[in-house]
Amino acid sequence: MTTKFYLTTPIYYVNDRPHIGHAYTTILADVLARFHRQAGDEVFFLTGLDEHGQKVLQASQARGLTPQQHCDDLAPRFSQLWEKLGISNDDFIRTTQDRHKKVVQAVLRKVYEKGDIYQSEYEGWYSVAEERFITETEKESGEFRDVKMLKERNWFFRMSQYQQKLIDHINAHPQFIQPEHRKNEILGFLRQPLTDLCISRPKSRMGWGIELPFDTEYVTYVWFDALLNYLTGVGYLTEDDKFKKWWPASLHLLGKDILTTHSVYWTTMLFSLDLPLPETIFAHGWWMLGESKMSKSVGNVVNPLDLVDQFGVDPVRYYLMREMIPGQDAHFTMESFVKRFNSDLANDFGNLLNRVSGLIPKYFNAIVPEPGALTPEDQHIQTIAENLQNKVPGLIKELKVSEAIEEILQLIRAVNKYMEQQAPWKLAKENLPAAGRVLYVASEALRISALHLSPVMPAKTDTVLNVLGAKGSSPQWGGLKPGTKLGEHGALFPRIEK
Ligand code: MSP
């Protein structure tokens, strides 16, 4: 039986070029999507852009463009970057698309008719930077910029009435908010009475958004609009079969800064719509540069394209996946990038390929030799390789991508060590079949590690599998066929010299 797996990234604000924070979430989602496809699951992977609201409006004004021109100009920078990074998304949603506007308006009508939306005068602290009213406590925390007193007539969503239902859901579904410490934060937040959510912005103040269907003087608050992309993307209200097939989402992947909007706003919206909640909301940490979060407002962002142009796509994907433990923050440094590249990719993975593809042509006419009966040393490698099949899927299910990579690298390191001990270059002179056996075992382990690493480095592992004539083979031991002619290749990961 195939399992369906619907996963999403946040939709990114088009207020600037994409940076490494955006690239990270998208690559992580892509790696998970590829792992699931490899495991035989049917996957729908959605990403896209959040194009309404004040931040986008301000960014467009700063460039002297209309907001729509600004979005149309910047959107390709995201989609082209995703293409360049090998992102295998199934759809790319933009909230200014008609299909989305229709869904947002239909949802607003539904929720309004249900009696979950009302109008009221509200006076309170408003954070211009965060684009929302904040509580007294939040104001006192000092974490919000551009705070001012604002009095306005607005439309509100009765979020508060779903508070207990949400708490009960979180408690009954341990997988719902991940990691555990983030779930506890949300439960802590829900110990205070939940307020209703202001879901409108008067056009007189901020007109860039989707008009409320029941009051044309207002546009929809950007978060109420944006979160609904997860429904639009799978055909809510328009393509019933598609929607039935994919909803609820299996995994919403996001950064910790937007966990509250997802676990509180989004879930209560779904309650109001009588729709099931996503299975898991996973909040990852931040990429930091020094002590600060990389962000546009701090101005310390690393452009992923610069790294990619210099070192290639797969090493960047590898570094981001290996270096961050999802759930914790990670520190970006060029030193750690170079170190990972040289040790894991050049010395371990690349070196194993070079050995195999150097020795088999030299002693066996580039034909994969017959292994014959395996010795205990060979079997030890076989066991590590076979164990990966049990370990990797479990780790991926828990989003422990970094650990999964480490497991695979341990196989590669074990094979390199085995090669040194067995020294097939010496054996070849005394006992050619024994050298053939060792080279078979090493190539087979290389093939299996390349298959396991392929969701992380699709292009480079493709090269390895092509050399071994093993594209599309299964990760079971014995998939490499003796008699296969090895292909040729250039340097897989040329060492970065200082
Ligand atoms: N538009 C909203 C999301 C709406 S989802 C319905 C938004 N966009 S964003 O462009 O500001 O950020 C999107 C994502 O990028 C967030 O998950 C955020 O955590 C992530 N990152 C932005 N900077 C980051 C780092 N420095 N490190 C890791 N991820 C970070 O919020």
Q: What is the 3-state secondary structure (H, E, C) of the chain?
A: CCCEEEEEEEEEECCCCCCHHHHHHHHHHHHHHHHHHHCCCEEEEEEEEECCCHHHHHHHHHCCCCHHHHHHHHHHHHHHHHHHCCCCCCEEEECCCHHHHHHHHHHHHHHHHCCCEEEEEEEEEEECCCCEEECHHHHHHCCCCCEEEEEEEEEEECCHHHHHHHHHHHHHCCCCEECHHHHHHHHHHCCCCCCCEECEEECCCCCCCCEECCEEEEEECHHHHHHCHHHHCCCCCCCHHHHHHHCCCCEEEEEHHHHHHHHHHHHHHHHHCCCCCCCEEEEECCEEECCEECCCCCCCCCCHHHHHHHHCHHHHHHHHHHHCCCCCCEECCHHHHHHHHHHHHHHHHHHHHHHHHHHHHHHHCCECCCCCCCCHHHHHHHHHHHHHHHHHHHHHHCCCHHHHHHHHHHHHHHHHHHHHHHCHHHHHHHCHHHHHHHHHHHHHHHHHHHHHHCCCCHHHHHHHHHHCCCCCCCCCCCCCCCCCECCCCCCCCCCCCC
CA 48 to ligand 1 centroid distance, Å: 12
Asked if pLDDT for residue 143 goes beyond 90, the answer is: no
| pLDDT, mean of residues 41-62 | 96
56 lines ligand 1 (CB under 6 A): no
CA 257 to ligand 1 centroid distance, Å: 7
d(CA 29, CA 309) in angstroms, rounded, equals 22
Total number of domains constituting the chain? 1
Residue nearest to atom 23 of ligand 1 (CA): 21
Chain segment 376-390, per-residue pLDDT in tens: 999 999 999 999 999
| 8 A C-beta contact, residue 254 and residue 25 | yes
CA 97 to ligand 1 centroid distance, Å: 21
244 is a domain residue: no
| pLDDT, mean of residues 146-166 | 95
Asked if pLDDT for residue 490 goes beyond 80, the answer is: yes
255 lines ligand 1 (CB under 6 A): yes
CA 160 to ligand 1 centroid distance, Å: 26
CA 447 to ligand 1 centroid distance, Å: 36
177 lines ligand 1 (CB under 6 A): no
Chain segment 106-141, per-residue pLDDT in tens: 999 999 999 999 999 988 898 877 777 888 888 998
Chain segment 205-225, per-residue pLDDT in tens: 899 999 999 999 999 999 999
| pLDDT, mean of residues 171-197 | 96
Higher pLDDT residue, 145 or 97? 97
Ligand 1 atom closest to 226 (CA)? 6
Asked if pLDDT for residue 304 goes beyond 80, the answer is: no
Asked if pLDDT for residue 305 goes beyond 70, the answer is: yes
Tokens encoding 146: 């551009």
Percentage of residues in the chain with pLDDT exceeding 90?
Answer: 87
Residues of the domain holding 449: 333-467
279 lines ligand 1 (CB under 6 A): no
Asked if pLDDT for residue 163 goes beyond 90, the answer is: yes
398 is a domain residue: yes
Ligand 1 pocket mutation, candidates 26, 231, 257, criterion most atoms within 8 A of CB: 257
Ligand 1 pocket mutation, candidates 8, 50, 221, 270, criterion most atoms within 8 A of CB: 50
What is the predicted pLDDT for the residue at 94? 98
Residue of 437, 422, 420 lying closest to 351 (CA atoms): 420
What is the predicted pLDDT for the residue at 303? 76
CA 137 to ligand 1 centroid distance, Å: 24
Ligand 1 atom closest to 15 (CA)? 10
Where does the pLDDT of residue 76 fall: very low under 50, low under 70, confident under 90, or very high at 90 and above? very high
200 is a domain residue: no
Residue nearest to atom 29 of ligand 1 (CA): 21
94 lines ligand 1 (CB under 6 A): no
CA 262 to ligand 1 centroid distance, Å: 12
What is the predicted pLDDT for the residue at 1? 63
What is the predicted pLDDT for the residue at 326? 84
Where does the pLDDT of residue 29 fall: very low under 50, low under 70, confident under 90, or very high at 90 and above? very high
What is the predicted pLDDT for the residue at 256? 95
257 lines ligand 1 (CB under 6 A): yes
193 is a domain residue: no
Residue nearest to atom 5 of ligand 1 (CA): 10
233 is a domain residue: no
254 lines ligand 1 (CB under 6 A): yes
181 is a domain residue: no
Residue nearest to atom 13 of ligand 1 (CA): 12
CA 254 to ligand 1 centroid distance, Å: 7
362 is a domain residue: yes
| pLDDT, mean of residues 312-333 | 94
388 lines ligand 1 (CB under 6 A): no
CA 18 to ligand 1 centroid distance, Å: 10
Ligand 1 atom closest to 253 (CA)? 17
Percentage of residues in the chain with pLDDT exceeding 70?
Answer: 100
186 is a domain residue: no
CA 33 to ligand 1 centroid distance, Å: 19
Residue 167 phi/psi, 5° resolution? -60, -45
Model-level pTM? 0.95
CATH number, domain of 395, equals 1.10.730.10
